[in-house]
Amino acid sequence: MSASPDRRTVLRGAALAGAACFGAAACGTGEQKPDATRPASDAPTELGPASAVPVGGARLYAEQRLMVSQPTKGEFKCFSTVCTHMGAVLNKIEKEQGVCPLHGSRFDVATGKVVHGPATRPLEEVPVRVRNGKLMAG
Ligand code: FES
């Protein structure tokens, strides 16, 4: 099964938005959206063993700019770690919340919703599934 353009765009956009922010002198003045104009790969991203994500917790995949949570055993959620405030990348998880280092926004790892601003929009959700014990995002 191949990913839809929207799913691929989210993954690709997440990586590009974060890279663009850190490559520029400033991260802009508004909330960022994934770049829908870039070409996307058809291949889902393999994140490694599903067992690496704790039940009731989450794990960051820094290189892929993704966060995967497992709210209940066998149920996985995946989100872009590009902050919806100004595009910085979440760099840690505390108390089941993904934390943005730039202005301190916090996002629920199970839903992607904002727990603490200044961000107002939830993290972009990315489809994820388990195939042969491995997480596949996108
Ligand atoms: S970029 Fe401002 S809180 Fe994340």
pLDDT single digits (tens) 103-123: 999 999 999 999 999 999 999
Whether pLDDT at 135 is above 80: yes
pLDDT per position as a tens digit, 71-97: 999 999 999 999 999 999 999 999 999
Q: Which atom of ligand 1 is nearest to the CA of 103?
A: 3
0.85 exceeded by pTM: no
The overall average pLDDT reported for the chain is 81
The closest residue, in CA terms, to atom 2 on ligand 1 is: 103
Cα–Cα distance between 11 and 36 in angstroms, integer?
10
Average pLDDT rounded to a whole number, residues 20-29 = 43
Is the shortest distance between the CB of 119 and ligand 1 below 6 Å? yes
The pLDDT value given to residue 43: 78
The pLDDT value given to residue 113: 98
| Residues 6+ away with beta carbon under 8 Å from 87 | 17, 18, 20, 21, 27, 28, 32
- Domains of the chain, earliest start first: 5-24+51-132 (2.102.10.10)
Q: Which atom of ligand 1 is nearest to the CA of 100?
A: 4
Cα–Cα distance between 130 and 133 in angstroms, integer?
6
Strand 128-131 and strand 92-94: pairing? unpaired
Q: Among positive and negative, which fits the CA dihedral 132, 62, 114, 71?
A: positive
